[in-house]
């Protein structure tokens, strides 16, 4: 299948890109193309102009600072996955990214593109929401930062305006006492998950002071559930999670099976995050002692 | 005969090209030669009457060269294009065969049916143009799925009562009486869903018309170039001699490309002739899903009577085959199921009856395995059910039912898909089973199961046996030409879709002629080189063309020896050919020797010398001046041509076993170990055979655990992409598969070979169902199975009364 006709621009500077977007309400940003190009080819999308941002300078950086991990709009999933900074500062990003698609797609697809594409079956929108991160966007009117909890409006719909380019995303660093876990069930390796769950658990000594889980593929927008109060009670945790979620039937799985996976994976991931928090805490103590 | 190459794991000569991206497929042809591109408007509705087609918005579009609908095909341009496409394999019991038109006339019967054909400067423009065609439909109720087809509340074709295309019954003995008299009986309902060949290269056709010579050349991604040639010539009103069909590299067929002619295989040549420009049609992935062909959808009901040993006394099988909207390939598929279901077993009495039913979905034609996977599933589920009911080991029940080695040839008393008696030529099933038992570790499995259970893990073991009729007729031929360089050119008419024919066939020819493997070159699927052929399907290429090449090479060899004997003044019987040199036996390279190239020179009396070597064949050098230069009963040149046409198919067999793990929580299914014992007679090239088995297993894993055609009630195929049609990745295929061979030669052909192409896929649904049932403790009766479905079954079985029907290994 071949796309419908479109104009193609490959601006060399951000300002040009922003002007091009502002000039044509039918224009769309092209990043890694791993979601957009299939939509074009199947003629499910027919933008009048494609503004290819791949030539924009300086957007491919991945860096860490006190705030956490920052990922530029042209950093590929593979770059982020390979970054030791990311793994150290916010390991949930690396864990979840290893489940995103396949190597060839991770080599082209961008993490920021995935975040703004707003697919509730995709890992990164859930991760940035669970971690309380943000996305910085630019337009001819200037820059603004959108907190993750305000980023998603509906299925495949972000709150970016059509003339905005996301320039980078920020994932907060893992805080002391925190541990993370991630698990998903997909039909084939690298497929979008039938259900995926990420968790952040914070401990203080032996006590769990916070437990939060984020869910993939069981809601219209990435959904985070606070499970602190149900800690230690699998049934109660699953019940609470499911009351916030809306598992649906499709050709790959029934709603009942998805709900079951929510139960199973919530328990697995909370346990993994708790273990991770304990391990980090004791490693931290060892470091402090030594 | 020397047997130097035969049986050797020679590396495939094709692979350098393929692996380096140098394959040459339909879309790679005539690049840069101003080829026009075609696109097709396909029905978005499963069942509708066409009220009106408005192409007015397309006609004047810049870059669009032609728009055709049905009405454009009825003129003098091509007198028979307005008729339905051929019904390729008629059968007396196919009482209501129907085929589609090249472009729909009045009615569409599946989503994807071709309605209009556009040719433009490029495919982008052609698709834009297709988008501007307006069709007005009158909707008709769609018939989707076997239950709806059987209920026949609505009809797919007005004039086909009950949606029944064909009903066929066969019997050997009185199965009902045998069941009634049997000490034990069981009945089972078993279901297999649709899947499809899904080759990575879809369909593709390129045609060039030469106005100066009034000749048409068609390149098409087919499994039968001779079939397409005949169809194109007939439909376009041309002489066969005006049409050549050449098969370029084909990126997989797996059965779907044996059906022909596709609408595009006629429309593209017709457009090329009309426009006097080369035209190309390259199918895209979605088109392949909705407008090529599927297979496998069947529902079965089994009644079986057996004794205390599990011996089947009577077997009565009824089944319903979903043939989709049309029946161009006849009822080959259900006939194969109904006969090949028997596998290696000999029930006391057998009756089978099937109905082939129309539905408003893509038609069904053979996909690797072709009806056998369903038959194997039915028989093997039955064997497992008998074992479970008797509390016997599953191997024991199978052994009790095997045809024994001394019972061959074994006549089942039925008629096979080729219209010939279902008679097995050879096999040794007990020996195969003994090997499999060893290879999979059947006897060690209970201990392994316990060990895993201690870790909270759940495992199961399963097996499945099959027999496969391979190498069906009617014939194949081969032409062998030894050039004056000593090189050997082989042409056979059937086509190649990546099986390694250029290697395996060269091995056969090299042995028969006594020439180095490297000096043999094989051409397939080119009607200019071998106009008589049938095609590549039914695991027949090695048996049919392999045998023909052997025979043709022996003919060439005869002539070589005759000429060499004269030149060397020796008796033919005393000569041998080693590495392309003919000499007196036991004195290789001795003074009395002559090479093949020189013999080729001598075979062709010349008037004109074109180089030093050819001087030897000119008129003042050779020949008896008192005789004609070419003897009355001779021909110039060093060639051999022969055909192979067997009495009946040869029957290969195999057995697969698998150990699976099922996650007690998520119901995910993981393959832990997979073992195969395979018997396809003598192996020409074990590496190629193992490649075929591994590829078959990969497709089988897909069919058992991942792939299905998800039609909704309105007849939309909702998973028509590789995102939702879950072809397994390499990560879903077992990383290691144990293969062992048995080589029971076929007595039917000169090389003792049997086909191997489809084998790997046949037992998959059966073997996985067996293992998953074993792990879970309840019988799996429908395939494929997904984790979600396994989860659902667990719930159903947990809420039902715990009448444990756990099968023991
Ligand atoms: C076979 C396959 C499997 C996949 N599996 C998974 C999976 O398991 N999990 C998963 O999460 N993803 C998966 N993906 C999607 C992949 O991760 C995509 O790369 C990603 O979702 C989008 O990133 P991109 O750079 O390719 O964006 P593009 O395809 O270029 O763009 C996607 C959308 O985002 C917009 N956009 C992109 N970048 C910006 C920006 N900087 N500012 C404003 N708008 C922008 C575009 O306009 C477009 O609407 C898969 C893709 C394929 C082809």
pLDDT tens-digit map of B79-115? 899 999 999 999 999 999 999 999 999 999 999 999 9
Is A1 near chain B, with CB under 8 Å? yes
For residue B124, what is the nearest residue in chain A, using CA coordinates?
A: A2
Q: Decide if B791 touches A, using CB distance below 8 A.
A: yes
Give the CA-trace dihedral at B119, B124, B128, B131, to 10 degrees: 80
Q: What is the Cα–Cα distance from B579 to B66, expressed in whole angstroms?
A: 57
Q: Name residues whose C-beta falls within 8 Å of residue B593's C-beta, 6 or more positions apart in sequence.
A: B568, B581, B582, B583, B584, B587
Report the gap between the CA of B728 and the closest CA in chain A (Å).
7
Q: Which residue of A has its CA nearest to B709?
A: A251
> Where exactly does CATH 3.30.465.10 map onto chain A?
1-174
CB pair distance less than 8 Å for B786 and A187: yes
Q: CB–CB of A228/A208 below 8 Å?
A: yes
pLDDT tens digits along B514-544: 999 999 999 999 998 999 999 998 889 999 9
ipTM score of the complex?
Answer: 0.95
Selecting from B710, B728, B791 the residue whose C-beta is nearest the C-beta of A257 gives B791
Inform me whether the C-beta atom of residue B665 falls under 8 Å from chain A C-beta atoms: yes
User: What is the β-pairing status of strands B650-662 and A62-65?
Assistant: unpaired
The alpha carbon of B259 and the centre of ligand 1 are apart by a number of angstroms equal to 38
Residue B589 confidence (pLDDT): 59
A261/B728 touch (CB, cutoff 8 Å), yes or no = no
What is the CA angle B526-A1-B29, rounded to 5? 25
Q: E strands along B143-275, which residues?
A: 164-172, 184-192, 204-210, 215-220, 243-246
> Which of B341, B339, B321 lies closest to B331 in space, CA to CA?
B321
- Residues 6+ away with beta carbon under 8 Å from A14: A56, A59, A138, A165, A167
- Which residues in A lie closer than 8 A to residue B128 (C-beta atoms)? 4-5
At the top level of CATH, the class of B298-417+424-471+647-799 is alpha beta
**Distance between CA B455 and CA B197 in Å, rounded?**
40
Looking at chain A, the whole-number percentage of residues with pLDDT higher than 70 is 99
Which tokens go with B363? 């038609």
- Hey, of A2, A104, A217, A271, which one would you mutate to test binding to chain B, going by the most B CBs within 10 A of its CB? A2
- B679-733 pLDDT per residue, tens: 999 999 999 999 999 999 999 999 999 999 999 999 999 999 999 999 999 999 9
Q: What is d(CA B513, CA B483) in angstroms, rounded to the nearest whole number?
A: 13
Name the pLDDT band for B75 (thresholds 50, 70, 90). Answer: confident
pLDDT in tens, B242-288: 999 999 999 999 999 999 999 999 999 999 999 999 999 999 999 99
Predicted confidence (pLDDT) at residue B771 exceeds the cutoff of 60: yes
Whether pLDDT at B677 is above 70? yes
What residues of A are in contact with residue B286 (Cβ under 8 Å)? 1, 42
Are residues A77 and A35 in contact, defined by beta-carbon separation less than 8 angstroms? no
Whole-number Å distance between alpha carbons of B664 and B645: 54
pLDDT at B801: 57
Cis peptide before B2 (omega within 30 of 0): no
Substitution candidate for ligand 1 out of A31, A135, A146 with most atoms within 8 A of CB: A31
Chain A: give the shortest CA distance to residue B761, in Å.
Answer: 20
> DSSP alpha helices (H): ranges in B71-166?
123-132, 146-151
* CA distances (Å), origin B726, targets A127, A188, A251, A252, B792: 26, 8, 11, 9, 20
pLDDT at res. B2: 45
pLDDT score at A286: 75
For the cut 80, the answer to whether the pLDDT of residue B778 exceeds it is yes
- The 3-state secondary structure of B511-540 reads HHHCCCHHHEEEEECECCCCCCCCCCCCCC
3-class DSSP assignment, residue B426: coil
Predicted pLDDT of residue A213:
98
- How far does residue B136's CA lie from ligand 1's centre (Å)? 37
The reply to whether CATH 3.30.465.10 applies to domain A1-174 is: yes
Local structure of residue B12 (DSSP, 8 states): P
Q: Do domains B298-417+424-471+647-799 and B476-644 have the same CATH topology?
A: yes
Residue B56: CA count within 13 A, CB half-sphere: 2
Arch. (CATH architecture) of B476-644:
2-Layer Sandwich (3.30)
Give the pLDDT score at A92. 98
Percentage of chain B surpassing pLDDT 90?
Answer: 90
Rounded to a whole number of angstroms, the distance from the CA of B121 to the nearest CA of chain A is 14
Interface test with A, best of B787, B788, B799 (most A CBs within 10 A): B788
Using one digit for the tens of pLDDT, what is the confidence trace for A195-208? 999 999 999 998 99
- Residue B692 contacts residue B760 (beta carbons within 8 Å): yes
Residue among A27, A42, A113, A127 whose CB has most ligand 1 atoms within 8 A, to mutate: A113
- The pLDDT of residue B127 is above 70: yes
Distance CA A146, CA A112 (A): 13
Nearest residue to B748 (alpha-carbon basis) of B499, B555, B470, B402: B470
Question: What whole-number distance in Å separates Cα of residue B772 and Cα of residue A103?
Answer: 31
Per-residue pLDDT at B807: 41
Residue B156 clears pLDDT 60, i.e. is over it: yes
Whether residue B63 lies within 8 A of chain A, CB to CB, comes out as: no
The hierarchical CATH code for the domain A178-289 is 3.30.390.50
Over 60: is that where the pLDDT of A145 sits?
Answer: yes
Residue A240: CB within 6 Å of ligand 1? no
Q: What is the pLDDT of residues B759-770, one digit of tens each?
A: 999 999 999 999
B805: pLDDT strictly greater than 90: no
Q: Which residues in chain B have Cβ-Cβ distances shorter than 8 Å to A254?
A: 788, 791-792
Residue A288 binned pLDDT confidence (cut-offs 50, 70, 90) = low
* pLDDT of the residue at B60: 85
Residue B202: Cβ within 10 Å count? 23
Report the separation in Å between the CA atom of A75 and the middle of ligand 1, taken as the mean of its atom positions: 12
Q: Quick check: bond before B784 cis, omega within 30? A: yes
The structure tokens 């009034």 sit at B214
Paired with A165 in beta bridges are A138
CA of residue A225 to ligand 1 center, whole Å: 25
Q: What is the pLDDT of residues B362-406, one digit of tens each?
A: 999 999 999 999 999 999 999 999 999 999 999 999 999 999 999
Ligand 1 pocket check for A110: Cβ under 6 Å? yes
Residue range B455-490, pLDDT digits in tens: 999 999 999 999 999 998 899 999 999 999 999 999
Confidence band, pLDDT 50/70/90 cuts, at residue B804: very low
pLDDT greater than 70 at residue B446? yes
B665, B719, B729: residue with CB nearest A264: B665
Residue B324 and residue B330: Cα distance in Å, rounded?
Answer: 12
* Chain B residue numbers touching A256 (CB-CB < 8 A): 791-792, 795
A235-268 confidence digits (pLDDT tens): 999 999 999 999 999 999 999 999 999 999 999 9
With beta carbons less than 8 A apart as the criterion, state whether B196 and B295 touch. yes
Q: What is the mean pLDDT of chain B?
A: 94
Confidence of residue A221 (pLDDT cuts 50, 70, 90): very high
Strands A207-216 and A152-154, sheet pairing = unpaired
Q: Please report the pLDDT score of residue B734 as a whole number.
A: 93
> A236-250, B294-308, B609-623 — which is least confidently predicted?
B609-623
Report the C-alpha gap between B465 and B462 in whole angstroms: 11
Distance between CA atoms of residues B752 and B543, nearest Å: 9
Pocket of ligand 1 contains residue A133 by CB under 6 Å: no
The answer to whether the Cβ–Cβ distance between A5 and B128 falls below 8 Å is: yes
In this complex, do B791 and A256 lie within 8 Å of one another by their Cβ atoms? yes
Q: Is the pLDDT of residue B809 over 70?
A: no
Average pLDDT estimate for B161-172: 97
> Which of A280-284, B87-91, B109-113, B332-336 bottoms out in mean pLDDT, i.e. has the lowest?
A280-284
Q: How confident is the model at residue A67 (pLDDT cuts 50, 70, 90)?
A: confident
Across residues B622-635, what is the average pLDDT? 85
- Cβ-based contacts of A3 with chain B (< 8 Å): 124
Answer whether A264 touches B (CB < 8 Å). yes
What span, in angstroms and rounded, lies between the C-alpha atoms of A142 and B246?
A: 61
A33 lines ligand 1 (CB under 6 A): yes
**Is any Cβ of chain B less than 8 angstroms from the Cβ of A191?**
yes
Which part of chain A has CATH 3.30.390.50? 178-289
Calpha distance B146→B782 (Å, rounded): 14
SS (H, E, C) A40-73: HHCCCCCCCEEEECCCCCCCCCEEEECCEEEEEC
Which residue from B286, B667, B788 is facing A252, i.e. has the nearest CB?
B788
Compute, in angstroms, the gap from residue A111 CA to the centroid of ligand 1.
Answer: 8
Looking only at the bridges linking them, the beta strands covering B476-482 and B639-644 are antiparallel
In B, minimum Cα distance to A253 occurs at B788
Per DSSP, B413 falls in state E
Which residues are B320's β-sheet partners? Answer: B299, B355
Q: Is A109 in the pocket of ligand 1 (CB under 6 A)?
A: yes
Mean pLDDT of chain A: 96
What are the residue boundaries of the structural domains of chain B, listed by start?
16-23+35-140+203-282, 298-417+424-471+647-799, 476-644
Name the fold adopted by B16-23+35-140+203-282: Aldehyde Oxidoreductase; domain 3 (3.90.1170)
pLDDT at A290 over 70: no
Give the count of beta carbons closer than 10 Å to the beta carbon of residue B1.
13
Contact A277, A201 (CB under 8 A): yes
**Quick check: B44 contacting A, CB < 8 Å?**
no
Q: What phi, psi does B454 have (nearest 5°)?
A: -60, -30
| Span from the CA of B442 to the centroid of ligand 1 (angstroms) | 47
Q: Hey, which residues does B185 pair with through a beta bridge?
A: B305
Q: Which residues contact A4 (CB under 8 A, 6 or more apart)?
A: A40, A43, A46, B128, B131
Beta-carbon contacts below 8 Å between A and B: 67
Q: With a cut of 90, say whether residue B620 has pLDDT above it.
A: no
């Amino acid at each position: 299948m071949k796309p419908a006709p479109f104009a193609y621009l490959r601006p060399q500077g951000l300002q040009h890109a922003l002007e091009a977007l502002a000039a044509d309400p039918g224009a769309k940003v092209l990043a890694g193309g791993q979601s957009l190009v299939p939509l074009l080819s199947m003629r499910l999308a027919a933008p009048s102009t494609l503004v290819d941002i791949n030539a924009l300078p300086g957007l491919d950086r991945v860096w860490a600072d006190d705030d956490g991990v920052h990922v530029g709009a042209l950093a590929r999933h593979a770059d982020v996955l390979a970054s030791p900074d990311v793994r150290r500062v916010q390991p949930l990003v690396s864990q979840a990214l290893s489940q995103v698609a396949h190597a060839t797609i991770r080599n082209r697809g961008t993490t920021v593109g995935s975040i703004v594409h707003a697919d509730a079956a995709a890992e990164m929108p859930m991760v940035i929401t669970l971690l309380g991160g943000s996305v910085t966007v630019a337009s001819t009117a200037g820059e603004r930062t959108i907190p993750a909890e305000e980023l998603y409006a509906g299925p495949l719909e972000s709150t970016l305006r059509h003339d905005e380019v996301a320039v980078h995303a920020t994932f907060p660093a893992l805080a002391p006492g925190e541990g993370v876990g991630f698990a998903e069930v997909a039909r084939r390796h690298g497929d979008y998950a039938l259900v995926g769950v990420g968790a952040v658990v914070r401990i203080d000594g032996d006590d769990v002071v916070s437990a939060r889980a984020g869910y993939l593929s069981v809601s219209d927008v990435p959904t985070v559930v606070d499970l602190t109060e149900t800690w230690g009670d699998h049934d109660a945790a699953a019940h609470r999670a499911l009351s916030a979620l809306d598992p649906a039937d499709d050709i790959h799985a029934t709603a009942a099976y998805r709900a079951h996976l929510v139960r199973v994976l919530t328990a697995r991931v909370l346990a993994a995050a708790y273990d991770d928090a304990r391990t980090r805490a004791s490693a931290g103590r060892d470091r402090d002692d030594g | 005969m020397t047997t130097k190459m035969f049986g050797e794991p020679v590396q495939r000569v094709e692979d350098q090209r393929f692996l380096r991206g140098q394959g040459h497929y339909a879309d790679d042809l005539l690049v840069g030669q101003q080829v026009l591109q075609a696109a097709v408007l396909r029905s978005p509705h499963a069942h509708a009457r066409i009220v009106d087609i408005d192409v007015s918005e397309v006609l004047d579009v810049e870059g669009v060269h032609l728009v055709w609908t049905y009405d454009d095909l009825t003129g003098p341009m091509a007198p028979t294009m307005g008729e339905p496409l051929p019904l390729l394999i008629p059968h007396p019991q196919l009482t209501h065969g129907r085929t589609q038109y090249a472009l729909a006339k009045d009615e569409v019967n599946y989503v994807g049916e071709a309605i209009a054909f556009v040719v433009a400067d490029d495919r982008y423009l052609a698709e834009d143009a297709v988008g501007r065609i307006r069709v007005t439909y009158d909707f008709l109720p769609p018939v989707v799925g076997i239950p709806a087809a059987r209920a026949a509340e609505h009809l797919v074709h007005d004039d086909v009562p009950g949606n029944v295309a064909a009903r066929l019954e066969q019997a050997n003995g009185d199965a009902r009486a045998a069941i009634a008299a049997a000490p034990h009986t069981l009945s089972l309902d078993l279901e297999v869903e649709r899947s499809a060949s899904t080759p990575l290269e879809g369909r593709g056709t390129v045609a060039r018309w030469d106005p100066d010579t009034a000749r048409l050349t068609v390149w098409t991604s087919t499994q039968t170039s001779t079939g397409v040639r005949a169809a194109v010539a007939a439909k376009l009103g041309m002489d066969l001699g005006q049409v050549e069909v050449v098969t370029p590299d084909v990126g997989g067929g797996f059965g779907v490309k044996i059906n022909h002619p596709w609408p595009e295989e006629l429309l593209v040549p017709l457009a090329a002739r009309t426009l006097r420009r080369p035209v190309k049609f390259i199918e895209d992935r979605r088109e392949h899903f909705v407008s090529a062909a599927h297979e496998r959808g069947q529902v079965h009901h089994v009644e079986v009577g057996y004794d205390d040993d599990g011996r089947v006394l009577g077997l009565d099988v009824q089944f319903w085959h979903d043939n989709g909207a049309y029946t161009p390939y006849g009822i080959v598929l259900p006939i194969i199921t109904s006969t090949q279901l028997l596998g290696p077993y000999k029930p006391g009495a057998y009756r089978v009856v099937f109905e082939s039913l129309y539905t408003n979905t893509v038609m069904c034609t053979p996909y690797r395995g072709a009806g056998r996977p369903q038959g194997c599933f039915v028989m093997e589920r039955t064997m497992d059910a008998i074992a479970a009911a008797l509390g016997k080991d599953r191997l024991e029940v199978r052994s009790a039912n095997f045809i024994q080695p001394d019972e061959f040839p074994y006549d089942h008393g039925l008629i096979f898909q080729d219209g010939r008696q279902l008679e097995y030529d050879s096999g040794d099933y007990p020996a195969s089973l003994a090997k499999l038992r060893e290879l999979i570790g059947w006897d060690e499995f209970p201990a392994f199961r316990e060990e895993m259970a201690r870790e909270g893990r759940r495992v199961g073991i399963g097996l499945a046996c099959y027999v496969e009729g391979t190498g069906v007729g009617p014939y194949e031929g081969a032409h062998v030409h030894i050039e004056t360089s000593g090189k050997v050119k082989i042409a056979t008419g059937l086509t190649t879709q990546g099986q390694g024919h250029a290697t395996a066939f060269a091995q056969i020819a090299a042995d028969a002629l006594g020439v180095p493997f490297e000096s043999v070159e094989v051409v397939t699927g080119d009607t200019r080189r071998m106009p008589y052929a049938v095609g590549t399907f039914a695991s027949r290429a090695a048996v049919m063309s392999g045998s023909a090449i052997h025979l043709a090479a022996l003919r060439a060899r005869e002539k070589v020896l005759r000429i060499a004997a004269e030149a060397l003044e020796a008796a033919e019987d005393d000569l041998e050919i080693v590495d392309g040199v003919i000499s007196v036996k036991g004195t290789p390279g001795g003074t009395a020797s002559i090479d093949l190239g020189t013999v080729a020179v001598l075979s062709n009396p010349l008037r004109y010398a074109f180089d030093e070597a050819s001087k030897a064949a000119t008129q003042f050098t050779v020949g008896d001046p008192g005789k004609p230069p070419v003897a009355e009963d001779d021909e110039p040149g060093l060639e051999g041509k022969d055909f192979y046409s067997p009495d009946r198919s040869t029957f290969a067999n195999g057995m697969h076993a698998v150990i699976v793990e099922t996650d007690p929580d998520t119901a995910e299914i993981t393959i832990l170990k997979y073992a195969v014992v395979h018997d396809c007679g003598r192996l020409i090239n074990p590496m190629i055979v193992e490649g075929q088995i591994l590829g078959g297993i990969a497709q089988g894993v897909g069919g058992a655990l991942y792939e299905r055609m998800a039609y909704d009630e309105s007849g939309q195929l909702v998973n028509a992409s590789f995102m939702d049609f879950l072809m397994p990745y390499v990560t879903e295929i077992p990383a290691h598969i144990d293969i062992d061979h048995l080589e029971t030669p076929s007595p039917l052909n000169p090389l003792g070979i049997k086909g191997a192409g489809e084998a790997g896929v046949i037992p998959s649904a059966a073997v996985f169902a067996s293992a998953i049932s074993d792990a879970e403790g309840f019988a799996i009766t429908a395939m494929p199975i997904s984790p979600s479905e396994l989860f659902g079954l667990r719930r159903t079985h947990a809420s039902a009364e715990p009448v444990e029907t756990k099968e023991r290994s």
